[in-house]
A = this chain, B = another copy of it.
């Protein structure tokens, strides 16, 4: 852990004061915003997410709004996925790529209307990217970062909390679908979404001045189910096989290498003008050079934090990288992801090189079972 020096360049979330009041213990930075990383009880926060319900300030998951007659066309140009049957109120997970087919972000694309889309982004500057493409292609669309700040409610009890707040209709909301759902005079959108596999919702606050009020409403509604403040959980997301763009990817990673091929379409109406489509078609034809597997380290003591990529070796030579790692409370092992030569298969034995030491490890399919 290091001290993070405040700077006006690194923005605060509308929920910042509430998270401080809730005892936030650490932050990361994400889209040049402070993103809470925990509240001082890592294991308790993990089990609460697995068994109960947790609330997360994920305002750093910014929205890139595309609005205007060419909004849908810009979405199609940016995302190699067929969005033609996507209805207003529906979201889809998309792998944005550059012209070389390298993944540059993995947002949820939310269709608000025929002329209005949001990209709810991971940590890279898609605002600049989308503006560059839109302007260079002469599209009639405005690209902005609106005042929209998600608050996630995650865990098996999340549906109870959300139903108590918004009503029983929310139980029928399908994954990645969303609906405008103002409450207490606060403008917001409710989506079934979130960066865990424990089920849950994201409340997209549309008025940054009302952060504390919304936070308190959720805390109050969740009290019967023992809700408490948490944060995107590294242990759960690694156990569940969720990608962290920028953490698990490098400047040459394509979607097929990191299990996102299922979210990539290569032939749909208009695909020929999609950025990177030719490169992606070529990669799919030849197959990617690497793939993403799970790593289970030998040993049964929790390893220290995993702040950099570790080399993975087999037969004395480097075959890939271990891109993240945590102590799994559920599996009682140190686990993580490998981005590794495609020839190395699940089940293979490898060595992970950490601080000059070699640690035996076994590769496995993702997600961890």
Using a CB–CB distance below 8 Å, which chain A residues touch chain B? 1-12, 24-29, 32, 34, 37-38, 98-99, 104, 123-125, 127-129, 131-133, 135-137, 144-145, 244, 246-248, 251, 275, 305-309, 323-324
Contacting pair A3 B29 (CB below 8 A): no
Determine which of B2, B3, B136, B323 lies in contact with A132 in the assembled complex, contact meaning CB atoms within 8 Å. Answer: B136
A124 to B125, CA, bound (A): 8
A104 to B187, CA, bound (A): 30
CB distance from A131 to the nearest CB of B (A): 6
Contacting pair A28 B7 (CB below 8 A): yes
Given contacts A1-B3, A3-B27, contact A244 B9 (CB under 8 A): yes
Chain B residues positioned under 8 Å from A32 (CB to CB): 123, 246
Dominant SS among interface residues on chain A: loop
Contacting pair B131 A98 (CB below 8 A): yes
Determine which of B2, B133, B135, B247 lies in contact with A4 in the assembled complex, contact meaning CB atoms within 8 Å. Answer: B2
A12 to B127, CA, bound (A): 25
A338 to B38, CA, bound (A): 35
CB distance from A132 to the nearest CB of B (A): 4
Determine which of B6, B127, B247 lies in contact with A8 in the assembled complex, contact meaning CB atoms within 8 Å. Answer: B247
A246 to B128, CA, bound (A): 13
Contacting pair A2 B34 (CB below 8 A): yes
**5 nearest CB pairs, A to B:** A6-B307, A136-B136, A9-B247, A3-B26, A5-B37
A8 to B244, CA, bound (A): 9
Contacting pair A25 B8 (CB below 8 A): no
22 A-B contacts (beta carbon < 8 Å): A1-B6, A2-B24, A3-B27, A4-B29, A5-B28, A5-B38, A5-B305, A6-B307, A7-B28, A7-B307, A8-B324, A9-B28, A9-B244, A10-B28, A32-B246, A98-B135, A125-B128, A127-B251, A129-B129, A129-B132, A136-B137, A144-B251
Q: A136's closest neighbor in chain B, by CB?
A: B136
A29 to B307, CA, bound (A): 14
Chain B residues positioned under 8 Å from A135 (CB to CB): 98-99, 275
Chain B residues positioned under 8 Å from A324 (CB to CB): 8
Contacting pair A104 B123 (CB below 8 A): no
Q: A8's closest neighbor in chain B, by CB?
A: B247
A9 to B245, CA, bound (A): 8
Q: A4's closest neighbor in chain B, by CB?
A: B4
Chain B residues positioned under 8 Å from A275 (CB to CB): 135
- Max chain B C-beta neighbours (<10 A), residue from A11, A25, A132, A246: A132
A8 to B305, CA, bound (A): 10
CB distance from A340 to the nearest CB of B (A): 15
Q: A98-B131, A99-B132, A132-B132 are in contact. List 16 more A-B contacts (CB 8 A).
A: A1-B5, A2-B24, A3-B25, A3-B27, A5-B26, A5-B37, A5-B38, A7-B244, A8-B306, A8-B324, A9-B246, A12-B308, A32-B246, A127-B251, A129-B129, A129-B132
A115 to B28, CA, bound (A): 38
Determine which of B125, B137, B307 lies in contact with A125 in the assembled complex, contact meaning CB atoms within 8 Å. Answer: B125
Chain B residues positioned under 8 Å from A307 (CB to CB): 6-8, 10, 12
A75 to B9, CA, bound (A): 26
CB distance from A300 to the nearest CB of B (A): 23
Contacting pair B6 A4 (CB below 8 A): no
Given contacts A2-B4, A2-B26, A9-B246, contact A128 B129 (CB under 8 A): yes
Chain B residues positioned under 8 Å from A128 (CB to CB): 98, 104, 124-125, 128-129
A324 to B9, CA, bound (A): 9
